[in-house]
Amino acid sequence: MKSGAEYVDSLRAVQPRIFLGGRQVRLLDDPTTLTVVRANARVYDLGLDPRHAAVMTAVTEDGRTVSRCLYPPRATADLEKRAEMAVLTSQELGTCNYRCVGQDALTALAATTWEMDRDLGTDYHRRLMDHLTRLQDDDLAVSGALTDPKGDRSRRPAQQDDPDVYVHVSERRPDGIVVRGAKVSQSGAYAAHETIVLPTMAMRPGEEKFAVAFAVENGAPGVSYIAQYTPFTAERASVPEKYLGNPLYGQRETCIMVFDDVFIPHHRVFLDGEVRYTGRLVSRFAKTHRMNCGGACKVGFADLVIGAAALMAEYVGVHKVPHVIEKITDMIRISETCRAATVAAALKGREEPPGSGYFLPDDVFGNVAKLAVADGFWDIMKWAGDIGGGLAVTMPSELELENPATAGYVRKFMKAAVPAEERLRMAKFLQNWCAGLHGAGTWHGAGSPQAQKMVLYALTDREAKKDMARRWAGIDR
């Protein structure tokens, strides 16, 4: 398994075509893309840290120790470790583990290709296993891509004016396929070695060309990345790193990943036209990703926010005021409710499909984890903003402390139980959480809540409940 430094080295051979803020940038040079590289490097290093080995690594059936980022769960204990990994990396990074979507995409593919081979006699699963072994042995960083641009959402893929708003097969060649389209809101794709691409939703008969799943190498001809640009991007380009809200790892960085007639050789194709299997492929991805990204990941974030709010309260001497304690307790309640739903999702996970050897979390519990955090994180932001005070949105730059004309004033007026430096640093950290991208980001990550509600309604055996009610009301059918 690679160290962080080895991962960074390995990137020198990759030449992703990345655009940011209107110009092309180099992955290892641009301060924003560099945060993604650093986050990945940190995850690699955690994998080598003996304290975290149980969580960050797994042992394959043939005895190889591999990164858990490349290991489809084979037991409920794996699911639990998977969720713990999400908590840990969130605590350590304060942003995405950018290998998270890729891992969950591999898990969904493992289960579904196994099923397709069994049902259809295809050899997708063998292909995938061969590919996975290579990924494991080279310990590659793999991202995952689902969300198409979608165009007009009231129309199906084949009805769009421009078919490119859904990724699709544009040409078939003897040795592989050519794909066109794009995936949006792709977390950290440009710093991965490869990306696993899945359809964005269940496809129907007649939509075969949109039913395609494959692995694509970073730097493959025709692939471009157009990075997100937010106020935080500008700030990182303008201000010394140490004065930023999340100095090393920054914001969740995403991009539009463009496929402009990209050739994919057959051995990297894992579904091609089998529309009937797209629904379960996507729903298996959602099942595992809602537990990990939807639930567990935000528990790790919440730990950081709660810690920061508790410190800010101490700094100004209000940490024993009852309403402050009540608010911190409420943040804990929200976070631990999500953690509980995540734990339940993992421990009540099941082999799926039966006989496959792959395990997926309980779907109901994964969905309620996501729903709990979607609303809950906005509340956490609210309470953190309350305790952080106006300072979290009105603070001056820490650069003032380097300016003789203002340093004295800022030291004097921003001083609290700790020096001004520390208070400003913590306020900036809180600003990053409660006055930025995290509310909407958490809401939509792993699918927006309306999707979870639809699944929850569909998963519920409402007839059984109606029967119970009838029995209780003394009604014989």
Region of 67-75, 169-177, 249-257, 279-287 interacting with a second copy (CB under 8 A): 249-257
| Footprint (CB under 8 A) of a second copy, residues 9-68 | 19-24
The tokens of 62 are what?
A: 């043939």
Min CB(50)–a second copy separation in Å: 19
Q: Which of 33, 103, 254, 356 contacts a second copy by CB under 8 A?
A: 254
| Footprint (CB under 8 A) of a second copy, residues 421-460 | 422, 425-426, 428-429, 431, 434-437, 439-441, 443-444, 448-450, 453-454, 456-457, 460
How far apart (Å, rounded) are the C-alpha atoms in residues 224 and 291? 30
Q: Does 316 participate in binding a second copy (rule CB under 8 A)?
A: yes
| Footprint (CB under 8 A) of a second copy, residues 344-383 | 344-345, 347-348, 364-365, 367-369, 371-372, 375, 378-379, 381-382
Region of 110-118, 180-188, 202-210, 263-271 interacting with a second copy (CB under 8 A): 180-188
- Per-residue contact string for residues 273-312; x = within reach of a second copy by CB under 8 A: ------------------------------xxxxxx-xx-
Which residue, 13 or 473, is less far from a second copy as judged by CB?
Answer: 473
Q: Which of 4, 247, 294, 349 contacts a second copy by CB under 8 A?
A: 247
Which residue, 35 or 254, is less far from a second copy as judged by CB?
Answer: 254
Which residue, 108 or 165, is less far from a second copy as judged by CB?
Answer: 165
Which residue, 110 or 282, is less far from a second copy as judged by CB?
Answer: 282
Min CB(76)–a second copy separation in Å: 9
Which residue, 263 or 378, is less far from a second copy as judged by CB?
Answer: 378
By CB under 8 A, the count of residues binding a second copy is 148
**Cis peptide, bond prior to residue 353, ω within 30 of zero:** yes
Q: Which of 328, 353, 354, 357 contacts a second copy by CB under 8 A?
A: 328
Secondary structure string (H, E, C) spanning the chain: CCCHHHHHHHHCCCCCCEEECCEEECCCCCHHHHHHHHHHHHHHHHHHCHHHHHHHEEECCCCCEEEHHHCCCCCHHHHHHHHHHHHHHHHHHCCCCCCHHHHHHHHHHHHHHHHHHHHHCCCHHHHHHHHHHHHHHHCCCEEEECCCCCCCCCCCHHHCCCHHHCCEEEEEECCEEEEEEEEEEEECHHHCCEEEECCCCCCCCCCHHHCEEEEEECCCCCEEEEECCCHHHHHHHHCCHHHCCCCCCCCCCEEEEEEEEEEEEHHHEEEECCHHHHHHHHHHHHHHHHHHHHHHHHHHHHHHHHHHHHHHHHHCCCCCCHHHHHHHHHHHHHHHHHHHHHHHHHHCCEECCCCCCCEECCHHHHHHHHHHHHHHHHHHHHHHHHHHCCHHHHCCCHHHHHCHHHHHHHHHHHCCCCCHHHHHHHHHHHHHHHCCCHHHHHHHCCCCHHHHHHHHHHHCCHHHHHHHHHHHCCCCC
Q: Which of 126, 134, 172, 333 contacts a second copy by CB under 8 A?
A: 333
| Footprint (CB under 8 A) of a second copy, residues 135-174 | 147, 149-155, 162, 164-165
Which residue, 232 or 270, is less far from a second copy as judged by CB?
Answer: 232
How far apart (Å, rounded) are the C-alpha atoms in residues 408 and 348? 58
Q: Does 326 participate in binding a second copy (rule CB under 8 A)?
A: yes
Q: Does 219 participate in binding a second copy (rule CB under 8 A)?
A: no
Which residue, 139 or 157, is less far from a second copy as judged by CB?
Answer: 157
Min CB(462)–a second copy separation in Å: 5
Which residue, 153 or 174, is less far from a second copy as judged by CB?
Answer: 153
How far apart (Å, rounded) are the C-alpha atoms in residues 318 and 311? 10
| Footprint (CB under 8 A) of a second copy, residues 70-109 | 91, 94
Q: Which of 37, 69, 203, 343 contacts a second copy by CB under 8 A?
A: 343
